[in-house]
Structure 1
Amino acid sequence: MQSGAGEMTASGKRGMGERRFGRVNWLGMQTLALRETRRFLAVWTQTLAAPLVTAGLFLAIFTLAIGPSRGPVMGVAFTHFLAPGILMMTVIQNAFANTSSSIVIAKVQGNIVDTLMPPLSAGELVAGFLAGAAARGLIVATLLVVALWPALGMVPANPVWLLLIVLVGACMLGAMGIVAGILSNKFDQIAAITNFIVTPLAFLSGTFYTLEALPGWMQAVSHANPVFYLIDGARYGYLGRSDSDPVLGLTIVVLTTAVLALLSWWWFRTGYRLKP
């Protein structure tokens, strides 16, 4: 018999690319995850240091421009109210950038085949890319938490919840980044998705305001934005206060992540906009 992947060889053994039910290519998946992690660590000034500077500028500008004239929000100082939202916004933007840029760069340079050819299933590809996004998101979040402690004297009220919502948020935007990367064939296309979808979702999610400040119809629109639940969940993890039920928000975020990951899996499986 032929010795193709998954078929019996003349010696009665299976080929290297076999896929038995329940079998996972752990080594290949780990290798992909390490590649995605080392890719952003190699340019840490751009992927880790720059987000910290941007987050610090957001806090400084809003504090100087609005802070002195703004009273407490949710029972805390305005700067303390802003910090968790800016933290989560920074995490999700970096998680999205990690997966989307990796796929788009590979497509533009013509080496996407190096990712698709190894014996990795569609699910393993999704898991490997999401691991890299989660790692970048967790590192950025950790650096910001460490920086906020001496700068503002802020310590998370619910650290386990904050860790969970950061991890889920990084995976959600990482999955969205995979979808965007597969859809895009050029840098300007991924830039359009970032500017017209990801950035508005992040800025119109309650990062700089509470829902109480909005009219009724805008509150309804905000509740339809899954990123709102990430910002609100981070605020609950840091301050112990939130605009909505944290458990409901986490459920919505997990379901959104599952839908995006499933779509990513299907497109990897079918080769949609990936294979010539």
Structure 2
Amino acid sequence: MAETGLTHARDMGVRRFGRFNWLGLWTLIRRETLRFLVVWTQTLLAPLVTAGLFMMIFSIAIGPQRGDVMGVSFLHFIAPGILTMTVIQNAFANTSSSIVVSKVQGNIVDTLMPPLSAGELVTGYVVGGVVRGLLVALAIAAVLFPIVGVGVAHPLWALVFVVLGAAFLGALGLVAGIVAQKFDQIAAITNFIVMPLSFLSGTFYSIEALPPVINTLSHWNPVFYIIDGVRFGVLGVSDSAPEKGLVVTLAATAAVGGLAWYWFRTGWRLKS
């Protein structure tokens, strides 16, 4: 009898649902998706309105007077950039806010205690950010692109870079959320890191117009390749080869995701 009880005690720590906890992962993805869907006016409608305002302002202030950029009209040129900028900012906000809110409210333990590995936690959070980014992209493409008269030259390339961009910023949001201990810290990361990365990555201009030094620095920015890749997918023109952008974006996403995985595994700033 005593031996049976000892055996059960040993079995308590044994993983009983295979190599991957699919049910737990799906539950986390569902939670992260419902988090932004219940406030869709803030998370989906507001980004659409913001993107529309950007397009309208540039159309009124610059569009008619500005010549072609890379063989397309300026308004068409900035449309994919604005879409991508909005997507990555929302993906970052989804993951970073989820972690910070849980830490501030003291319920991060509800996420860490279930039988989910560090890889499953990172995957669940990032997928939630990707879903939000995709929905924002679909809303902008469905509503604003027909108004502006923009088509999609290479749909598969556009989809790949939108997903990768959302995944990269979603993983970066996890890193930022783990580092930050309160809301003003995550706001500082957003204002001083995420916003400059997105605005200074060719969203509103071709980097070929930049001075040589700044042009070289831009090629070290993964967000440049994300925006440039989406622009190639939508317009068929780009500053760099999409294949190179794909490799850089995959490497950057893997690096940031790996850091988030390591911190989830060790519990740094999460369990203390």
Which residue in 1 is equivalent to 2:11? 14
Tell me, yes or no, if structure 1 residue 127 matches structure 2 residue 127: no
How many residues are paired up? 271
Counterpart secondary structure, 2:25 = helix
- Cα deviation digits, residues 231-257 of structure 1 (max 9, x gap): 100100000000001110111000000
| Alignment-mate amino acid for residue 186 of structure 1 | K
- Cα deviation digits, residues 1-60 of structure 1 (max 9, x gap): 8999xx9416xx833x53389710000000000000000001000000000011011111
Q: Unpaired runs of 5+ in structure 2?
A: none
Tell me, yes or no, if structure 1 residue 97 matches structure 2 residue 80: no
Which residue in 2 is equivalent to 1:204? 200
Tell me, yes or no, if structure 1 residue 165 matches structure 2 residue 132: no
Tell me, yes or no, if structure 1 residue 34 matches structure 2 residue 30: yes
Match of 2:66 among 49, 65, 70: 70
> Within 2, Cα distance between the matches of 1:206 and 1:105?
32
The alpha carbon displacement at 1:108 in A equals 0.5
Structure number with higher relative contact order (C-alpha < 8 Å, ≥ 6 residues apart) = 2
Tell me, yes or no, if structure 1 residue 180 matches structure 2 residue 176: yes
Match of 2:134 among 135, 138, 143: 138
- Cα deviation digits, residues 57-103 of structure 1 (max 9, x gap): 11111111111210111111110000000000000000000000000
TM-score of the aligned structures, taking structure 1 as reference length: 0.94
Contact 2:79 2:145 in 1 (8 A): no
TM-score of the aligned structures, taking structure 2 as reference length: 0.96
Identity %: 64
Runs of 4+, deviation exceeding 4 Å: 1-4
Counterpart secondary structure, 2:64 = helix
Aligned residues: CA RMSD:
1.9
Q: Unpaired runs of 5+ in structure 1?
A: none
